[in-house]
Structure 1
Amino acid sequence: MKKAYLNWSSGKDAAFALYKIQQEAELSITKLVTTVNSESNSVSMHNLDVQLLKQQAEHLGIELHLIKLPAGDVSMVDYNKIMKDAVTSLKNEGFRISVFGDIFLEDLKRYREEKLQEIGMKAVFPLWKLDTKELILDFIAKGFKAITICVNAKVLSKDFCGRIIDKDFVDSLPDGVDPCGENGEFHTFVFDGPIFSTPVSYIKGEVYKKIYSEGNENNTWDSKFYYCDLQSGMK
């Protein structure tokens, strides 16, 4: 099998991508790669404590590799340089394939492919173009367990944050919200499933609202999100 690393977000799409890769047995995922905020020591966007991220990796039996991003807003120029340096280092370790859990965002897929091609790497997308309703139901049926830890306040109310991903959750999503949250409607933390040796123990805290910069004058990006504070259940 060819050696590869997985871009690990801590959420359901990355977990199901790992499951698919392991089932197909053509690639060997030997490292999980995650970007984290160096100030908050949390997973970028998901706002998940790194301790829980480390527990996921332990229960998956795969080495974790952190790419630390500076505090505050990071420009695309700086982000691209940080990622290029990090991926070049991974290439020097013998990696040639980078796996992603993306499903249908064409621009994002093209961006990833182009940046990797610049340094002689290949991108693989095991979930690409799968029907997102069928995918999330398959995810649930396979025995995966996940909880929403971030929801976009523009499209989902506070009560959607901190909920377990099950059929009731999927059925309750408003019209226009992708069942997998592929448009950024919600993000998740996976704590159990067929790829885990044992469930990851966590404690569910309060749900809070966070407002980022209001965006540019045309308000072309979202700025308000609900987060569920998760803490490690390990003593």
Structure 2
Amino acid sequence: MKKRIALSWSGGKDSCMALHTLIQQGYEIVTLVTTAPKEIGRTFGHGERTEMIRLQSEALSIPVYFIECQLESYTEQFIQTVKDLKNQYQISGIAYGDLYLDEHREWGEKVAEAAGVEAIYPLWTRSENALHLLEQFVHSGYQAVVIRVREDVLDESWLGRLLDDSFLKDIQKVAICPMGESGEYHTYVFDGPLFSKRIQLDKPEVVELETTKKLEFKTCQFI
């Protein structure tokens, strides 16, 4: 019998790789979990419209559960949600797409322990393996676009770039983690082997935020 688990989902390449790996390992992902402050209707991590996450959920045929969290009670609300999902879906674990930052893993393990489930890190590795992981994603059949960059390390020209061989070559010329593990860049996956439909992103517009620049797509739909 497959282990039933939830997956923390940002919509980007890391959580997509985690999903693919978990399925290969025989897990049953019964729900995706995304944090999204109720007031703004956007994801907590990448600032993406919840509509775009719902499209991914539908294309993957996995329901998404939005945690309507607030910063001051983020951890408590996450723990309570995992407890609720444990009761609702009989999950035995929650998986994360983190790669090597110890503080991220410590937080995820703390949440899982408090909720009485297992913390699963299918991509966990050493920082020196980040480039290999990016190579794996580029050649995996999934398609992703850069939707956000940290202005102190990457300029606006990176926005809208596809994660392809050209991106793989150019990212090695910049002194950052190739996978953007410290938030140097964020991505959105719009197609791939597990997707039943391709998501089309149209009418891009660059939005300048406090320390980052973001690519805002005015319309998104299945094709």
TM-score tier, shorter chain, comes to: over 0.9
Counterpart position of 1:39: 39
What does residue 159 of structure 2 align with? Answer: 161
Paired AA for residue 234 in structure 1: Q
| 1:60-111 deviations in Å (ceiling 9; x for gaps) | 01011111124xxx22xx1122112211111212112001111100111012
Q: Which runs of 5+ in 1 are unaligned?
A: 212-223
Q: Is the partner of 2:86 in helix, strand or coil?
A: helix
CA–CA separation in structure 1 for the residues paired with 2:20 and 2:216: 26
- 1:233 Cα shift? 3.0
Contact persistence 2:205–2:218 (CA under 8 A): no
> Mean Cα displacement is larger for which, 186-195 or 129-138?
129-138
Moved over 4 A (4+): none
Q: Which residue in the other structure is 1:13 paired with? A: 14
TM-score normalized by the length of structure 2: 0.92
Show CA shifts across 1:106-135 (max 9, x none). Answer: 111012112211231111011100621111
Question: Which one of the candidate residues 86, 89, 94 is aligned to 1:98?
Answer: 94
Q: Distance in 2 between matches of 1:99 and 1:7?
A: 6
The answer to whether the Cα contact below 8 Å between 1:52 and 1:231 also exists between their aligned partners in 2 is: no
Q: Distance in 1 between matches of 2:46 and 2:112?
A: 24
CA 1:168 to 1:96, structure 2 compared with 1: closer, same or farther past 3 Å? same
Partner of 2:53: 53
Contact 1:13-1:102 at 8 Å conserved across structures:
yes
Tell me if 1:183 matches 2:182.
Answer: yes
In structure 1, give the amino acid aligned to 2:75: N
Q: Secondary structure at the match of 1:43?
A: coil
The aligned amino acid for 2:181 is: E
For 1:125, which of 121, 125, 137 is the aligned residue?
Answer: 121
Q: Which runs of 5+ in 2 are unaligned?
A: none
Task: Give the superposition deviation at 1:204.
Answer: 4.1
Q: 2-side partners of 1:232 and 1:66: how far apart?
A: 21
- Give aligned pairs, total: 217
Over the matched positions of the two proteins, sequence identity in percent amounts to 30
CA contact (8 A) 2:96 2:108 kept: no
8 Å CA contact 1:7, 1:33 repeated in 2: yes
Q: TM-score, normalised by structure 1?
A: 0.88
